[in-house]
Amino acid sequence: MNKQFIQSNADLSAYSTYEIGGKAKYLAAPTTIEELTSVLEFAKEKELKPFWFGMGSNILFPDEPKEDMIFISLKELKETHIDEKGWFVSAGMPMSHLSLIGLASGTADFDFCFLLPGTVGAGIYMNAKYYNRQICDILDTAFYIDLNDPEFKVQTIHVDGCGYSYKNSIFMNNDWIIVGAYLKHPDFNALEQGIREVERLEQVVEYRNPSVLPNFYKYYTAMAETWAQDHEAEVPESFKSVIQDRGSKFHFDYPSCGSVFKNNYDFGEPMGKVVDRLNMRGTVHGGASISSWHGNMIVNQGNAKAEDIVHLVEQVKKSVNEAFDFIPEEELIIVEKK
């Protein structure tokens, strides 16, 4: 193997906000679409099963990954530019970056992405949301590679064709790797300046692996504060309220993947409340526990194994089914083990 961007025996725990996962026989982190295509060709040639992902903030990697899998991290694909057709953002760009570009270009359209862990590609994949705003509100056109296309050509799909609903999309039913997107913006002149301004901030604020949640929190709050200081302005109230909301639920204090289950709107109560009714907050198994602050989060207390998290996921499903007669659907993606 001579491709610099394919590593062997890479520790998957460094690629997931759960900080859980064993050694992957193959892990690739392409920095361009050409490199990604060459990884896919390598996988095809070696008959490896690709698993593609972003920041790992919604994934539980196994303690013993399958040896015939190649894990493809897209978080190094993080380029953005404006061309004659629109504003292009690569799939690995952190969603939180969009909130800063919005801040620096004078629009609140991307405020909901502030401190929303994960990448633009994954946000498009699962229609990431924060309260009443979701990624499909800002998407114009997605660019993707269909793994069933022997040439791995980049194809496009307009937002109207993406079948979006609550945490659901066409991408979740297809072997499509999103490589980037055109996003909507109300003012392209201001956007150009905003992109330059965020590039300047990137030179000033120290960047660390965003798959470690305290790093992620510190980096994006520092970016917003530095912007405010440099412009003799205040951090916007909408950003402050995200800090308050996520801080009060201790989102960045323990390794986790945020909400484990999707809400069941037919039942009429969010999953956090459903788990609370069963008094399951604080339930511990091995190194994992149901968060003491939010019933729909299962956290790694420091030395959890994937099995510990899976055990608690199954325990919640069983208890909810017995008490309320429905099986909650996981939002967390659990990758199969050996």
The DSSP result for 213-279, as a single string, is: HHHHHHHHHHHHHHHHHHTT-PPPHHHHHHHHHHHHTTTTTS---SBSB--BTTTTB-HHHHHHHTT
Give 106 or 214: the residue with its C-beta nearer to ligand FAD.
214
Nearer to ligand FAD among residue 197 and residue 335 (C-beta):
335
Three-state SS for 177?
strand
Specify the residue, 69 or 197, whose C-beta has the smaller distance to ligand FAD: 69
Choice between 44 and 231, CB closer to ligand FAD: 44
Catalytic residue status for 319: no
Shortest reach from residue 18's CB to ligand FAD, in Å: 8
- Which residues touch 329 (CB under 8 Å, ≥6 apart)? 261, 262, 264
CB of 216 to ligand FAD, least distance (A): 8
In the set 76, 225, 307, 331, the catalytic residue is: 331
Catalytic residue among 13, 73, 259, 291: 259
Does 199 participate in catalysis according to the annotation? no
Whichever of 139 and 197 has its CB closer to ligand FAD, that residue is: 139
Q: How far is the CB of 230 from ligand FAD (least distance, A)?
A: 28
Smallest distance, Å, CB 17 to ligand FAD? 4
Burial of 9 (0-12, 13-18, 19+ CB in 10 A): exposed
Q: Nearest 5°: phi and psi at 68? A: -95, 20
Give the nearest distance from C-beta 46 to ligand FAD in angstroms.
Answer: 20
Tell me how far CA of residue 287 lies from CA of 18, 93, 185, 283, 300, in angstroms: 12, 31, 44, 11, 6
Residues that bind ligand FAD (CB under 6 A): 17, 52-59, 74, 91, 116-119, 121-123, 125-126, 128-130, 171, 177-178, 213, 251, 256-258, 333
Catalogue the active-site residues. Answer: 259, 331
